[in-house]
Amino acid sequence: MRSLILLCVCLFLFVSIGIVNAQVAGIYPTTDPQPITTQISPPAAATPKVDTGDATWVLISSALVMLMTPGLAFFYGGMVGRKNILGILMQCFIILCLVSVVWVLFGYSLSFAPGKGFWGGFQWVGLKGIGFEPYADYGATIPHQLFAIFQMMFAIITPALIIGAFAERMKFSAFLLFILLWTTFVYNPICHWVWGVGGWLKDMGVLDFAGGIVVHISAGVTALMTAIFIGKRNGTTKKAILPHNLPFTVLGTGLLWFGWFGFNAGSALGMNSVAVNAFLVTNTSGAAAGLTWAIIDWVFQEKPTMLGTATGAVGGLAAITPAAGFVGVFPALVIGAVASIICYIAVTLVKPRLGYDDALDVFGVHCIGGVWGVLATGLFASKAVNPAGADGLFFGNPKLFLIQLMAAGVTLAYGFIASLIIYKFVDLTIKVRVKEKDELMGLDLTQHHENAYTILE
């Protein structure tokens, strides 16, 4: 079994090295990069120029979004038992490492190379020919390489979101293989459909500013699938598994919120009115959602809770993500408040009835929040906010709402089925779940041979 995993890793490395070798001339253009780029970019007549202000903001935004993955690690890490926190932190960090490598090798090309197929294609494998010159469709005033960096951070955090669903019970080797296949066959195609040049949902006019469909729905629905098929955590039938360190969760929420400014405002791909509006509505929606959840807790559970407020804020931030560049500040209040209400219903009422163990409520918060955000974009989008967008239902354009509804449905269906196939493949080859003995002892000791906390010196 172990040799099988090593074999997979070796194969992957060999393929990667082969690709890189084949493309090495393209990655390091010695003389003039022009002939390579002109094959794919528009005629040089309207040569786009890098704007230093725009580029600076997107570069900083990329760093902000990177910080969200360690932030998410603490957000999740605080909620699991103390014997599993290193397992969570490790999964987030290894995704940061793995997807970064995959992205520069072929992930970016599969997602964003122009093409009308299932995914982008292989033209930009190894980031061939991608340099300082802007590519008009992906931010006309920022370097193309910078766009690839910015998008890399999105590709990293998306699979990291999923891990909360199968927390405390997935084998590390199986997890690695699952994530590698998932980012390739689920994230890259969906990303291409919605954002890539030639993507069919993009051509249809779907609006997804910063990843409600690409990030939150795709990760959230995969989370639901894994939670159903991996089964409940040991012990959940007897009692709830309590969070071992809520301050970590709050720290993580803070880092996520902070990073989300880069996520949403950075998605304007420049320093302009859309970016500033996105920043404002992001904060507004997160705040409205946190406040709403606290009130709901207070009314229905006697006291406002810290975990509830943090959860609500994350739900509100997820919901505003697809809408951030298209809606004004008052719709943002509604989006945030409603996000908390429906996420609360999903997490506290629907989940216990259906009986799946989505350990850290990835589906209930990210997917439900994301679906609401995508639909709300179809309701509240306005050309007054962003002329490059479209008007929604409340501004006299019901067609956008239908497009949004269809895009959400397609992503839900594809995400569920494709990730299920990957999950079954991994389960048949190397078994997904840890042995019961290992689960009881905790993933820190059994998967990583480390302990997070000591009792004695």
Q: Which residues bind other proteins (CB under 8 A)?
A: 83, 234-235, 238-239, 437, 440-441, 445-446, 449-451, 455-456
Please compute Rg for the chain using Cα positions.
22
User: Mapping DSSP to helix (H, G, I), strand (E, B) and coil, where does residue 422 land?
Assistant: helix
Q: Which is nearer to other proteins, 242 or 299 (CB)?
A: 242
Q: Which is nearer to other proteins, 235 or 398 (CB)?
A: 235
Report d(CA 283, CA 260) in Å as an integer.
Answer: 9
Q: Which DSSP category does 1 fall into?
A: -
CA contacts within 13 A on the Cβ side of 143: 13
C-beta of 441: minimal distance to other proteins in Å?
Answer: 7
Report d(CA 98, CA 88) in Å as an integer.
Answer: 15
Give the residues across from 433 on adjacent strands.
Answer: 170
C-beta of 237: minimal distance to other proteins in Å?
Answer: 11
Cα 421 from chain centroid (whole Å): 20
C-beta of 358: minimal distance to other proteins in Å?
Answer: 21
Q: Which DSSP category does 106 fall into?
A: I
C-beta of 235: minimal distance to other proteins in Å?
Answer: 7
Q: Which is nearer to other proteins, 353 or 437 (CB)?
A: 437
User: Mapping DSSP to helix (H, G, I), strand (E, B) and coil, where does residue 170 land?
Assistant: strand
Q: For residue 454, is it left (φ>0), alpha (ψ between -120 and 50) or beta?
A: beta
C-beta of 84: minimal distance to other proteins in Å?
Answer: 12
Report d(CA 310, CA 165) in Å as an integer.
Answer: 18
Q: Which is nearer to other proteins, 297 or 439 (CB)?
A: 439
The DSSP string of 315-332 is: HHHHHHTTTTTT--HHHH
C-beta of 243: minimal distance to other proteins in Å?
Answer: 16
User: Mapping DSSP to helix (H, G, I), strand (E, B) and coil, where does residue 433 land?
Assistant: strand
Q: Which is nearer to other proteins, 226 or 446 (CB)?
A: 446
Q: Which is nearer to other proteins, 358 or 439 (CB)?
A: 439
Report d(CA 152, CA 435) in Å as an integer.
Answer: 34
Residue 95 in contact with residue 158, Cβ under 8 Å? no
C-beta of 347: minimal distance to other proteins in Å?
Answer: 23
Q: Which is nearer to other proteins, 87 or 139 (CB)?
A: 87
Q: Which is nearer to other proteins, 241 or 255 (CB)?
A: 241
Report d(CA 67, CA 256) in Å as an integer.
Answer: 8
C-beta of 169: minimal distance to other proteins in Å?
Answer: 13
CA contacts within 13 A on the Cβ side of 245: 17
Place of tokens 């084998």: 171
Q: Which is nearer to other proteins, 234 or 272 (CB)?
A: 234
Q: Which is nearer to other proteins, 192 or 233 (CB)?
A: 233
C-beta of 232: minimal distance to other proteins in Å?
Answer: 15
Tokens representing residue 147 in the block: 């766009």
Report d(CA 324, CA 321) in Å as an integer.
Answer: 5
C-beta of 433: minimal distance to other proteins in Å?
Answer: 16
Positive/negative CA dihedral, 317, 320, 324, 327: negative
